[in-house]
Structure 1
Amino acid sequence: MGHLNKNLFRRLLFGYLIVVLAGLGAVGLFMSYTMKDYMYDMTKDGMMRKANKVNLSIQDLNPGEAMNSRLAMLDGSFDTRVWVFGKNGEIIATSTPNEVSVGKSVNHNIVRDVMQGRTPPVQELAFDGLNEPMLSVVVPWGQGDSIYGGIVLHSPVNGLNQTIGHIRETILWAVLIGLVISTAMVSYLSWSISRPLREIERVANKIGIGDFSEKIEVHSSDEIGELATTINQISSRLEMTEAERKRLDQIRSDFLANASHELRTPLTALQGFLEALQDGLISEEGRTKYYDVMYHETLHMTRLVDDLMDLVKLENDDIAFSMHEVQLEALLKRLAFSFDNALKERGNTIQLEIEANLPRIEADQDRLEQMLNNLIKNANKFTEDGAITVTASTRDQDMVIEVKDTGVGISDKDKPLVWERFFKVDRGRERRNLGTGLGLSIVREIVLRHHGQIELQSEESIGTVFTITLPLTQQAS
């Protein structure tokens, strides 16, 4: 991938350079040739205007010294060679008698065009007696309809070519400087594209091996920046998914370990008792006690299996809730009565604080009773010679139920764990507080299935409060 990235940088660099070089070269050539044509056109137009001025200046002069002097003066003013030829094409006057001898003739085609009143095209001509090529223009010499001959103006081509050469050299330097600047800009542009892609590639490789710790630094809001942001979001989601997977794996492992432990303990006791009974090691009077222990261990395993099945069904949404209007006050009074003996065994009392004219709540009565039963049972198990208070009131469109005890409380480190399967705050306590460790997990699932919320407040040696908020009416799903 790194090799491909380097190739990408080179491809971008050379691709941009070729485009820039071709563009600057084309512009340079176009400007060069356009400038040459422009210079030639400007020179030709200027020479035509000068030729017409020469014609006006010598219209009243006859060939001779006076005309030669006038032409010499015009030569100095216009910096051009001036010839005058007659109707037969013979040169009769010149501004530079030392370069061209008077008496020589101009090309008969040029003479014919001039005598017919036409202006021959401007062209580069080499005349006998001239030391270098000239750009020449020819105009009729005369006044009105009378044509006496023609006037020829010459401008050295070399000077014009040198000027064009200087212009082309300037354009070439401009192109070279532009190429250097463009190369620097293109290099930076290619680097600015390939560098974040290289960073994206590096982080993507780490994501590929399961390392989600690094994120791409986003420096722009363009397409590459959006790509980096998307990859960061994917990395964060994968990290969360991986963390959740590990958490679920750990829960699954803990579940299997706890389930095995919870089942092994009573099964071991049962096996030991049965072996003792089979071997006849127990007297007839002691068998009743052994049978009683075995019976309670069997009940514990039954409760464990039932709670497990309930929890699995609740989590998998395999239990159909039957929602009906429930009179919560009557339900709480019935539960308080059913716990009378269990509360007396631990020296506890229960008090109901129910709001006057408490409205009915839409819920599954059996599951609502199971939820409250688990909470009251849990409160009674961890409270001794204390009080349990159950309150029910309305707030806005919700029913608020609190189960409060004055028991041992829950430590801060245990609070986040009380909802986990098989977690027991009473670990290490006496066996008479035996439980499955699934009660609060079932309570939470029932609350969630009723679209409610449950909160926990607890302090060690002071007590615990579970607050449940349930909507009075269930929204249709």
Structure 2
Amino acid sequence: MFDINKSIFRRILFSSMFTVLLGLCVVGLLISFLTKDYIVTSKEDELLRKAKRVNLAVQNITVLDEGIKDLLIFFDQSYETRIWIFDLQGKIVATSAKDEVYIGKSVDNSVVAKVSKGENAVMNIQFEGMKESMLSVIVPWGKDNKVFGGIILQAPVTGINETITNLRETILWGTLFGLLLSAVIASYLSWTISQPLQKIDRVAAKIGMGDYSQRIHIQSKDEIGDLAATINHMVEKLEIVDLEKKKQEQIRQDFLANVSHELRTPLTAMQGFLEALQDGLIDEGAKPRYYGIIYNETLHMNRLVDDIMDLIKLENNEITLSRSAVDIAAVVTQAAFKFEPEATEKNTSISIHTEEDLAKALADSGRLEQICNNLIKNAIKFTENGRITIQAFNEEPYIHLVFSDTGIGISADDQEMIWERFFKVDRGRSKKNQGTGLGLAIVRELVELHEGKIEVQSEIGKGTTFDVWIPNVESSQK
């Protein structure tokens, strides 16, 4: 994760510093050049105005005497500029300088030509002996169309250059400060981005190891917060899928273990009895009893295989119902009559109560009978010296079937487990009642296949009641 953090920091830092540096450099150069142009232009305009004022003072004078020199010195001191006057031949005839070093020197012919036309000129004039650059403006000397020569005002450009230099130094310091500030901001932004990403990385690593209890706790409302919320939602889904996978795997293992156990028990008994019969250890009079036990174990194995096949077909949606109008009272009566002898052996009575004008059920007759058989048989198995009551009445849009017994009952913990395959309520209580542990699982699948529902209510020592709702014919026609 450190490499990710380092990479993010480096990218943000370099991009922000480059942006600041480029922006300030471009802005600084533009400001310096524009400022220099502005200052120079302003200085030129100012010198032109001053030069015209000097011309106003000497425009009517054609002979330059000592008084003119004093006047030029006055303007020199007032304007802080040097003043030269030259004639139409380009020779300097007067100057505001204290010495006369420049008198008699000549200016460029192009300057004389411009002045002769009455035009102003701005240029840098450099004379021999001048040690610094000067900004010069030239205006015609004269009045109206009478031009006697030209007047030159010069000001040193040192101040302008110093101003531009100071401005550029200020921009440089501003650039350095901007780079420092951008580095601080980049560090902060990198930290605010990398910290949540580090959390996401740590949690993702644990999730990758199969720990789906991990969650990312990020309160920000930005894209990183949305990413964290999405990952949390994904982990919740993965946790559910993983739990379901483990549950299915556990069910598969339990299924194989239970099938192995259920098959091994009768096979072991049958093997022992057959070996005893084969070795002649059983008296002739006792053989029918042994054959009867072997036959019963065979029936038990056959029921187990049939129940397993039915349950597998139901769970794989391989059973198709042939639904039609079924007289549910007749089905219940037939099922109860079938198990009457078995109930009588346990001194248990079976009573049936059906509502008059009971609607027809929309069901598969054979599968509905299988539901009733399993529930009645289950009630008989856990009821001795008691009674079993079967009721049927209309409850739109269903027919409500109630199977009640006064048997041993089911604990609250076991009531959630009775629908599981091979689960037996009496597994630790009694060995007299044999069963496959698949009956109620098959019942629930068949009821749901009929688009019905089933519920259980029970109390230890007081009995159990199964409520079954099967759709009636009238509801399907609406």
Q: In the alignment, is residue 31 of structure 1 matched against residue 31 of structure 2?
A: yes
| Cα displacement (A) at 1:61 | 5.2
User: What secondary structure does 1:427 align onto?
Assistant: coil
- Residue equivalent to 2:113: 112
Deviates more, 1:297-306 or 1:267-276: 267-276
Matches of 2:90 and 2:466 in 1, distance apart? 126
| Cα displacement (A) at 1:422 | 0.8
- Residue equivalent to 2:244: 244
Report if aligned partners of 1:411, 1:459 keep a CA contact under 8 Å in 2: yes
- After superposition, residues 46-61 of structure 1 pair within 5 angstroms as 46-60=46-60
| Cα displacement (A) at 1:171 | 1.2
Structure 1 residues 363 and 5: alpha-carbon distance in aligned structure 2, compared to 1, 3 A threshold: farther
Matches of 1:137 and 1:147 in 2, distance apart? 16
Report if aligned partners of 1:101, 1:129 keep a CA contact under 8 Å in 2: no
User: What secondary structure does 1:414 align onto?
Assistant: helix
CA displacement 1:268-311 (0-9 Å, x = unmatched): 22122222222333333322222222222211111111101101
Matches of 2:14 and 2:348 in 1, distance apart? 87
Report if aligned partners of 1:124, 1:157 keep a CA contact under 8 Å in 2: no
Structure 1 residues 105 and 296: alpha-carbon distance in aligned structure 2, compared to 1, 3 A threshold: same
| Cα displacement (A) at 1:179 | 1.1
- Residue equivalent to 2:186: 186
Report if aligned partners of 2:20, 2:175 keep a CA contact under 8 Å in 1: no
Structure 1 residues 94 and 415: alpha-carbon distance in aligned structure 2, compared to 1, 3 A threshold: farther
Matches of 1:374 and 1:328 in 2, distance apart? 15
Matches of 1:53 and 1:393 in 2, distance apart? 124
Matches of 2:167 and 2:372 in 1, distance apart? 99
- Residue equivalent to 1:137: 137
| Cα displacement (A) at 1:248 | 1.9
| Cα displacement (A) at 1:73 | 4.6
Give the residue type in structure 2 aligned to 1:82: I
- Residue equivalent to 1:375: 375
Q: In the alignment, is residue 233 of structure 1 matched against residue 209 of structure 2?
A: no
Give the residue type in structure 1 aligned to 2:178: G
Matches of 2:326 and 2:99 in 1, distance apart? 132
Structure 1 residues 390 and 165: alpha-carbon distance in aligned structure 2, compared to 1, 3 A threshold: farther
- Residue equivalent to 2:428: 428
Report if aligned partners of 1:392, 1:399 keep a CA contact under 8 Å in 2: yes
Deviates more, 1:167-176 or 1:407-416: 407-416
| Cα displacement (A) at 1:58 | 4.3
CA displacement 1:363-415 (0-9 Å, x = unmatched): 32322221232122222322333343444455554444433333222223222
- After superposition, residues 100-179 of structure 1 pair within 5 angstroms as 101-120=102-121, 122-128=122-128, 130-179=130-179
Structure 1 residues 239 and 325: alpha-carbon distance in aligned structure 2, compared to 1, 3 A threshold: same
In structure 1, stretches of 5+ residues that fail to align are none
- Residue equivalent to 1:13: 13
Deviates more, 1:302-311 or 1:180-189: 180-189
- Residue equivalent to 1:322: 322
CA displacement 1:111-161 (0-9 Å, x = unmatched): 1111123332x3333334644211122222333333232222222211011
Matches of 1:99 and 1:432 in 2, distance apart? 144
CA displacement 1:210-239 (0-9 Å, x = unmatched): 333323333444444444333333333333
Matches of 2:53 and 2:217 in 1, distance apart? 75
Give the residue type in structure 2 aligned to 1:322: S
Matches of 2:100 and 2:262 in 1, distance apart? 128
Matches of 1:359 and 1:67 in 2, distance apart? 137
What's the Cα RMSD here? 3.0
Report if aligned partners of 1:355, 1:392 keep a CA contact under 8 Å in 2: yes
- Residue equivalent to 1:91: 92
Structure 1 residues 158 and 343: alpha-carbon distance in aligned structure 2, compared to 1, 3 A threshold: same
Give the residue type in structure 2 aligned to 1:455: E
Matches of 1:401 and 1:53 in 2, distance apart? 123
- Residue-pair matches, total: 475
- Residue equivalent to 2:42: 42
| Cα displacement (A) at 1:70 | 4.7
Give the residue type in structure 2 aligned to 1:90: K
- Residue equivalent to 1:446: 446
Structure 2 length-normalised TM:
0.88
- After superposition, residues 454-473 of structure 1 pair within 5 angstroms as 454-472=454-472
Deviates more, 1:459-468 or 1:109-118: 459-468
Matches of 1:101 and 1:359 in 2, distance apart? 134
Matches of 1:401 and 1:58 in 2, distance apart? 131
Report if aligned partners of 1:39, 1:164 keep a CA contact under 8 Å in 2: no
CA displacement 1:14-41 (0-9 Å, x = unmatched): 3443343333333333333333233323
Structure 1 residues 132 and 278: alpha-carbon distance in aligned structure 2, compared to 1, 3 A threshold: same
- Residue equivalent to 2:196: 196
Deviates more, 1:200-209 or 1:62-71: 62-71
Matches of 1:145 and 1:360 in 2, distance apart? 129
